[in-house]
Amino acid sequence: MLSRPKPGESEVDLLHFQSQFLAAGAAPAVQLVKKGSRSGGDANPDRPPLQDHRDVVTLDNLPDLPPALVPAPPKRARPSPGHPLPEHEDPEERLNRHDKHITAVLTKIIERDTSSVAVNLPVPCGVAFPPVFHRSQGRQRKPATSGKRSIFAQEIAARRASEAKVPPVGEVASTLDPPEGAAACEALTPREQGSQLPWNSYSFQGPHLVTGKGLKSQEAEQEAQTIHEENVARLQAMAPEEILQEQQRLLAQLDPSLVAFLRSHSRTCEQAEEKATGEQRPGGHSAEVTGEEPIMPTSASEPRQEDELEPGAPALALPVTPQKEWLHMDTVELEKLHWTQDPPPLRRQQPQEAQAGEFGDRLVGSVLRLLLDAGFLFLLRFSLDDRVDGVIAAAVRALRALLVAPGDEELLDSTFSWYHGALVFPLMPSQEDKEDKDEDEGPPAEKAKRKSPEEGNRPPSDLARHDVIKGLLATNLLPRLRYLLEVTCPGPSVVLDILAVLIRLSRHSLESATRVLECPRLIETVIQEFLPTSWSPMGVRPTLSLHRVPCAPAMKLLRVLASAGRNIAARLLSGFDLRSRLCRFVAEAPQDLALPPEEAETLSTEAFRLWAVAASYGQGGDLYRELYPVLTRALQDVPKELSSPSPQPLALQRTASLLTVLTQLTLAAGSTTPEPRSDSAEASLSATPSSVTWTQVSGLQPLVEPCLRQTLKLLPRPEMWSALGPVPTACLLFLDAYYQAWSQQPGVCPGDWLQDTERLSEELLLPLLSQPALGRLWGSLGCCSPLCNPQSCAPAPEALSSLVSLGCAGGHPPLSLAGSASPFPFLTALLSLFNTLGWIHKGLCGQLAAVLAAPGLQNYFLQCVAPVAAPHLTPFSAWALRHEYHLQYLALALAQRAATLQPVSATSAALYHSMALVLLSRLLPGSEHLAHELLLSCVFRLEFLPERASGGPEAADFSDRLSLGSGGDLGCGRGTLLAQACQDLPSIRSCYLTHCSLARASLLASQALHRGELQRVPALLLPVAKEPLLPTDWPFLPLIQLYHRASDSPSGLLPADTVGTAMRALQWLLVLESWRPQALRAVPPAARLARLMCVFLVDSELFRETPIQRLVAALLARLCQPEVLPNLNLDCPLPGLTSFPDLYANFLEHFEAVSFGDHLFGALVLLPLQRRFSVTLRLALFGEHVGALRALGLPLTQLPVSLENYTAPPEDNLALLQLYFRALVTGALQSRWCPVLYAVAVAHVNSFIFCQDPKSLDEVKAARRSMLQKTWLLADEGLRQHLLHYKLPNSALPEGFELYPQLPPLRQQYLQKLISGVLRNGVSET
């Protein structure tokens, strides 16, 4: 016998004792007995005991996939096993049957013939009392099958069963009498059956209404048949019209609601029978069921058999066939499935759509927003703290489904090797909600002081309402994920889900990526557990654990982190020993990694991409020397892989990533060491020289060029060309970087690379331009362009402002910018190579610029400059438009290089200039270098203004002379101004470079990226794309900045170059208005007028300058053209202006103070006073600034618009009419110092006093009579004559209007009637 454990014995000793005990086979001293359940003992009494010789702890096998998050089935009341509830019995009828009240008994007294009813007497017995039942007798019987029942219930059930074996005497007679329910149900149907039978059909099968119940059993059936025959004979003797009349009479006697109910019930039954008959016809004949079959009631004590259909009964015509595997369908209750017959029939695809969850378009509102508002996000977060592995797995899977869009990651991975494809926008909200805007109201200084503390103290729920990722990070999500990976060691699916969530968190922003990097032991755990340098070989079969096994998502996580900033990349390379990991996974071919083939290819691709990101900062160059043989061997194998009939997509992505690494290393070898700047925080970091030299990369070009030749052979075959993916693009980008770096080497002879560029052009590039397949690519630009097809950038239906996603869940069609047949990546790389070759070899520029003459490119440019609104800025549209703008800029840069060497056609030059203007107003953050280069080169280039040399100024003068009402006498002609502006283009360019300056830090970062200065690249994460870099009204920026300086300057002193700045801006605006009006189409005419008014608000002397006067007059004339004037709307909100009435009030105040009767100033004051504009503007002048009327001396002949715009329709504002009349009567408004408004006021007052509208209000009628009386009594005969005899406006006359020689008869009668009344009132008063 074994002794008890003693102190000092270890667990090894205990395990040894246990093995000895099990080997001896002795009986244990204690036997464990599992206590049975309360409902019925052991669930499985026949289960054999465990025979294993080991002490095994058995747990239920948890699936690798998380369980479905469905609610538990609701608990249902279970009836007593001995008394099942009848299913086909009406509850109301059952209550009535058990009702023992006296009223219920008296209302059901029916006379019956009981002479033939048998009377069953009790069975006689020889004892006075029944025998006593002992429990010992029950044990000998079989246990009850219907659950736990009492002994008394079991005995009663046994006696009933024994009595049921002997049928009573009257059983046969009782079957002839159907129950009351059957008679009541049949009594409702003859009226409907009679209406449904055809008139020529008399094949009645038997009585349905009369059953003979209550008669003697011998006479019941015969009497019922006699009555039935009499009814049939009477119906046959009646005509159809008589039958209809009787039917209508019977229906009129019944309750209408009852008739409607019976008809609907009958119609439903007919439809069910027709469906059942139609379904049974192709399969076989259904059994006939006659109406004579009695309906037997179901006893409460009988077992439930109503769910089992009899073989002869027709099946219910249900749209779906119920299955017992469904929830709550273990017992199919067919009567509860009748409701499925009412909905319309389902389409075949609908069940599949419902299972796939594709009914999102039929839901009202956003499901995601509803879930987030309900707290679903924090439910997932709290579920991660659970102890059950299944709950944690389900929570991680749901969190990944919520945060991660698989289509987004596939898109960003597939475009990594595009032109600047590694640069992405952060996936964070670009604007705050309205609540934040309300909270942040106030001065900028106060916002800066109070926003940062509130950001840290706000609860996670508030943060998640505006930014889901910030809300999650505030709940300590990262430490919990680290704990799950490091301690719990979950299954493969959970690990992949966690890594996907970490990748999404890292894409949010630089702040989120830094928090992921600095989370304690998180990155160490990822690298040690999922990027080991040694592991056990894995087969094709799924593994049970990913720990200590290389994982491609782990490498991708490091790549995304490194893309957030150069400091993060440096910390990863130096602090986590990533160099050894990169060498491990790059040096060995994917087929030799002892991993599944697909996983090995993806892991190798991600290793190359991580290296490429590090090389984009000039880091990781020391690995190139160690891995040079591996890289050259891989390049030598690329042509063989490309020539295979069906190249693998993963292998092509790996090849493109390899070429991207070599491109960045080549740029690093060609970049010169920048001079350190004392004002830069990264001066020491950027001053470190590159570890890659030109001699180390100079031998790569002969290896890459054959790859490009091999890919170009497949260009005429579209299906094969699409399958190549980004490989041709990566080859072109490498050659671009190679020649750019070669030309920057100080010790290399220029003749070498000049000869090599000529060889490449003659052998490869120029023959490529003549291929029809390349023209096909140019022609497909419009089909794949987001600008030309804004619907392709529409936001996803479930897009949320607090959770940014590219919305790529459904994929992209082939003919789209991100599609497989998109021409944008290849053509962008081709134009980049052409620009580099044209820059280093100007002799090739003209030959390579022939690509710009492609009809497809010309048509594409025409579509881009057409008056079509740009797509709404969404995360995906920002990503797509950025790549499209790269192609447009490179094409314009090549055109600009060619224009300096050879003449360009007028049509092409004007198209390029229009394209440059449109592109400048659309560029997004991150493209500051492109905007700066456009301002330097294309926008203000004289070669792109062909109108200068083709008679444009002369045509402008001729047009002004032909136009009516032009204010040409204010200065020289518009043609002279345009010619002078063309001569001053360099000064105009300097002005706009000063006032359209971008943020210096952003401009330097963008320049470093586009120029290949890798030592100065701060990050591959672009700024948030809130809006374009420049506003749509950027040509007005110098004027707006002058106005703001004047408003903010307390002393009123302005810079010395104020006149020059205003003149250059007005010159450029005149050029755009005259020759490029589409460039200002985005700025409404009212906004242009408001910005012109800012010139007069700068100070009191600027508008007096002669050049300013001439330019403003010319621009005002352009605004007053007949085709532009109808679009001048001052009543709608204007961009950049809070309130036009406030601006106009300020304008009137300034005019009254400093104008001194300036006619141009007065013209701008008069323009908003037209009748169709708001009455507020006219009230401001006549009510608050009446003194300004004396300075409005603009002659009628110099009015820029027609006088009828001020006089028609008649004024209906009584307050303004009274102000008009008061100004005229008091002499504040006279014709000699304000001719325009004098004519306007006279016209409106005359129309008002002679108006005889009967619908006018009493107040208006009284004011009209009073005004006419005062006019008649005026002492000023001239004013009295004008107000009474006004006829029509006429600008040619000195007064501005025509007069009646004498009043018309109607007006004369009206005036005489009013005068006579005034005289009588005056006599009576005296």
Alpha carbons 911 and 859: distance in angstroms, whole number = 10
State residue 321's pLDDT score: 72
- pLDDT tens digits for range 114-130: 666 566 656 665 666 66
Length of the chain: 1326
What are the residue ranges of helices labelled H in 818-944? 824-840, 845-848, 855-865, 875-899, 906-920, 928-936
What are the residue ranges of helices labelled H in 238-348? 240-253, 256-283
Alpha carbons 779 and 783: distance in angstroms, whole number = 8
Bridge partner list, 1297: 1289
| pLDDT category of residue 33 using cuts at 50, 70 and 90 | low
State residue 355's pLDDT score: 39
Q: Is 328 left (phi over 0), alpha (psi -120 to 50) or beta?
A: left
Segment among 227-231, 744-748, 969-973 with least mean pLDDT: 969-973
Element at 1297 (helix H, strand E): strand 1297-1299
- pLDDT tens digits for range 450-460: 444 455 678 89
State residue 799's pLDDT score: 78
The arithmetic mean of pLDDT across residues 1137-1158, rounded, is 93
State residue 807's pLDDT score: 79
Q: What is the pTM of this model?
A: 0.73
Report percent pLDDT > 90 for the chain.
52
User: Does pLDDT of 147 surpass 60?
Assistant: no
State residue 395's pLDDT score: 96
Report percent pLDDT > 70 for the chain.
73
Segment among 310-324, 828-842, 1067-1081, 1146-1160 with least mean pLDDT: 310-324
User: Does pLDDT of 824 surpass 80?
Assistant: yes
Please tell me which residue, 1 or 885, carries the higher pLDDT value: 885
| pLDDT category of residue 746 using cuts at 50, 70 and 90 | confident
The arithmetic mean of pLDDT across residues 1117-1144, rounded, is 92
Please tell me which residue, 599 or 355, carries the higher pLDDT value: 599
Alpha carbons 243 and 251: distance in angstroms, whole number = 12
User: Does pLDDT of 36 surpass 60?
Assistant: no
Please tell me which residue, 33 or 1275, carries the higher pLDDT value: 1275
User: Does pLDDT of 1147 surpass 60?
Assistant: yes
Alpha carbons 234 and 364: distance in angstroms, whole number = 61
CA atoms within 13 A on the CB side of 533: 9
Going 1143 to 1149 to 1154 to 1155, the CA torsion angle's sign is positive
Instruction: Work out the mean pLDDT of the chain and round it to a whole number.
Output: 81
**Distance, C-alpha 266 to centroid of its chain:** 50
Judge if the upstream peptide bond of residue 1209 is cis by omega within 30 degrees of 0: yes
Taking CA atoms, 568 is separated from 455, 470, 563, 617, 1018, in Å, by 24, 20, 8, 11, 10
User: Does pLDDT of 299 surpass 50?
Assistant: no
| pLDDT category of residue 633 using cuts at 50, 70 and 90 | very high
Please tell me which residue, 1083 or 338, carries the higher pLDDT value: 1083
User: Does pLDDT of 353 surpass 80?
Assistant: no
State residue 266's pLDDT score: 65
State residue 727's pLDDT score: 96
| pLDDT category of residue 240 using cuts at 50, 70 and 90 | confident
State residue 919's pLDDT score: 96
Alpha carbons 441 and 453: distance in angstroms, whole number = 16
The arithmetic mean of pLDDT across residues 1175-1181, rounded, is 95
State residue 281's pLDDT score: 44
Bridge partner list, 424: 1021
The arithmetic mean of pLDDT across residues 708-720, rounded, is 93
Q: Which stretch, 683-687, 871-875, 985-989, has highest mean pLDDT?
A: 985-989
Segment among 81-90, 570-579, 643-652 with least mean pLDDT: 81-90
| pLDDT category of residue 9 using cuts at 50, 70 and 90 | confident
Q: Which stretch, 31-40, 676-685, 1072-1081, 1131-1140, has highest mean pLDDT?
A: 1072-1081
State residue 1240's pLDDT score: 96
Give the pair of three-digit tokens for residue 463: 């943060």
User: Does pLDDT of 755 surpass 60?
Assistant: yes
User: Does pLDDT of 572 surpass 90?
Assistant: yes
| pLDDT category of residue 1049 using cuts at 50, 70 and 90 | confident
User: Does pLDDT of 427 surpass 90?
Assistant: yes
CA atoms within 13 A on the CB side of 633: 8
- pLDDT tens digits for range 890-949: 999 999 999 998 899 999 999 999 999 999 999 999 999 999 999 999 999 999 999 988
User: Does pLDDT of 697 surpass 70?
Assistant: yes
Own/partner pairs, 763-769, CB within 8 angstroms, 24+ separation? 764/705, 764/708, 764/709, 764/712, 765/833, 765/834, 765/837, 765/848, 766/847, 768/712, 768/715, 769/850, 769/851
Residue 1021 in contact with residue 426, Cβ under 8 Å? yes
What are the residue ranges of helices labelled H in 671-764? 683-686, 694-697, 701-712, 718-723, 727-743, 750-760
User: Does pLDDT of 1315 surpass 50?
Assistant: yes
**Cα end-to-end span (Å), the chain:** 147
Segment among 342-351, 437-446, 586-595 with least mean pLDDT: 437-446
| pLDDT category of residue 205 using cuts at 50, 70 and 90 | low
The arithmetic mean of pLDDT across residues 358-365, rounded, is 58
CA nearest to 969, candidates 1200, 1254, 1126: 1200
Residue 87 in contact with residue 304, Cβ under 8 Å? yes
For 1298, phi then psi, to 5°, come to -100, 155
Alpha carbons 470 and 486: distance in angstroms, whole number = 24
- pLDDT tens digits for range 953-969: 888 888 877 764 444 44
| pLDDT category of residue 279 using cuts at 50, 70 and 90 | very low
Please tell me which residue, 537 or 411, carries the higher pLDDT value: 411
| pLDDT category of residue 302 using cuts at 50, 70 and 90 | very low
State residue 1186's pLDDT score: 93
User: Does pLDDT of 1064 surpass 90?
Assistant: yes
Give the pair of three-digit tokens for residue 1029: 């870099």
| pLDDT category of residue 320 using cuts at 50, 70 and 90 | low
State residue 312's pLDDT score: 43
CA atoms within 13 A on the CB side of 1272: 20
Segment among 293-297, 602-606, 856-860 with least mean pLDDT: 293-297
| pLDDT category of residue 682 using cuts at 50, 70 and 90 | very low
User: Does pLDDT of 704 surpass 70?
Assistant: yes
- pLDDT tens digits for range 471-527: 999 999 999 999 999 999 999 999 999 999 999 999 999 999 999 999 999 999 999
State residue 868's pLDDT score: 79
User: Does pLDDT of 192 surpass 50?
Assistant: no
Neighbours of 653 (CB within 10 A): 24
- pLDDT tens digits for range 178-189: 434 333 333 333
State residue 317's pLDDT score: 62
User: Does pLDDT of 84 surpass 80?
Assistant: no
State residue 687's pLDDT score: 45
Segment among 202-216, 239-253, 406-420 with least mean pLDDT: 202-216
- pLDDT tens digits for range 757-815: 999 999 999 999 999 999 999 999 999 999 988 877 766 667 788 999 987 765 677 77
SS (H, E, C) 953-983: HHHHHHHHHHCCCCCHHHCCCHHHHHHHHHH
